[in-house]
Amino acid sequence: MTQLQQTNQQVTPDLIRPNSPIVVAIDKASLNEALQLADQLDPSLCRVKVGKELFTRCGPQIINELHSRGFEVFLDLKFHDIPNTTAQAVLAAADMGVWMVNVHASAGLVAMQESKKRLVDAGHDTLLIAVTVLTSMTEEGLKGIGVDVAVTEQVERLALLTKEAGLDGVVCSAQEASRLKQLCGQQFQLITPGIRMAEDSADDQKRICTPSEAMQNGSDYLVIGRSITQAADPIHKMTQILDSLK
């Protein structure tokens, strides 16, 4: 183990583990904007998600800053490469102390198995999940890359492959959650984006699902962006959402 790896594993402070399914998407373009938003949230009420743009601009510093504020972090980088490269990237994320990280299921069974094995071998409890079919992908789009099946069929196929690989769950829509729980079991974690409160604007989301609907369908974690981040009082909004789930 390198000195850098040792340092990364040792500096993670005690994090607050919220009894909450909410994961707030920190979709900001700079460190300052991201931290201003984080300072309006409460780590006892939610976890936070860091995606490709923010991490590419800020690097591990954003993870360290969020950890220092007590937040558990879902690092949403969707690794997709040959097995060794994918597994090493997953391990690097876990070395930073993130709560959850993801890969593309289409990287294949071996890539997912190797990624999980390296987490276990290193003693990490980071959750490893997979992305099945991107929400922007249509059946026509799948055909364009040589996958001549319905989107729902491909989602189910890749979810089952993810379970076979020993991963903890998948990202899925609320509409897919019930079926995937049936296929993959109650312990298979489902992380659902595109969640809005009933009174919120639809914005660019064609299919809106409320938090209570998603949880009833079988989702375990709800990735919520603008409904919370654009609220006048984000903490009050989170409290409203949690109350709606009781």
Confirm whether residue 84 is marked as ligand binding: yes
Confirm whether residue 83 is marked as ligand binding: yes
**Does the annotation count 52 as an active-site position?**
no
**Does the annotation count 148 as an active-site position?**
no
Q: Which of 14, 28, 39, 78 is catalytic?
A: 78
Local structure of residue 232 (DSSP, 8 states): S
Confirm whether residue 7 is marked as ligand binding: no
> Helix, strand, or coil here: 122?
coil
The DSSP secondary structure of 147-178, one letter per residue, reads --S-HHHHHHHHHHHHHHTT-SEEE--HHHHH
- Pairing between strand 169-171 and 47-50? unpaired
Confirm whether residue 224 is marked as ligand binding: no
Q: Which of 39, 42, 76, 233 is catalytic?
A: 76
Confirm whether residue 117 is marked as ligand binding: no
**Does the annotation count 76 as an active-site position?**
yes
Residue 43 exposure: Cα atoms within 13 Å on the Cβ side: 18
Confirm whether residue 241 is marked as ligand binding: no
Write b or e for each residue in 110-138: b if 16 or more Cβ atoms lie within 10 A of its Cβ, otherwise e. ebbbbbbebbeeeebebbbbbbbbeeebe
Confirm whether residue 78 is marked as ligand binding: yes
Query: 190 forms bridges with which residues in the sheet?
Result: 170
Q: Which of 14, 28, 39, 81 is catalytic?
A: 81
Confirm whether residue 52 is marked as ligand binding: no
Which residue numbers belong to the known binding site for substrate? 27, 49, 76-85, 135, 196, 205, 225-226
Hey, which residues are catalytic here?
76, 78, 81
Which amino acids are annotated as binding site, given as ranges? 27, 49, 76-85, 135, 196, 205, 225-226
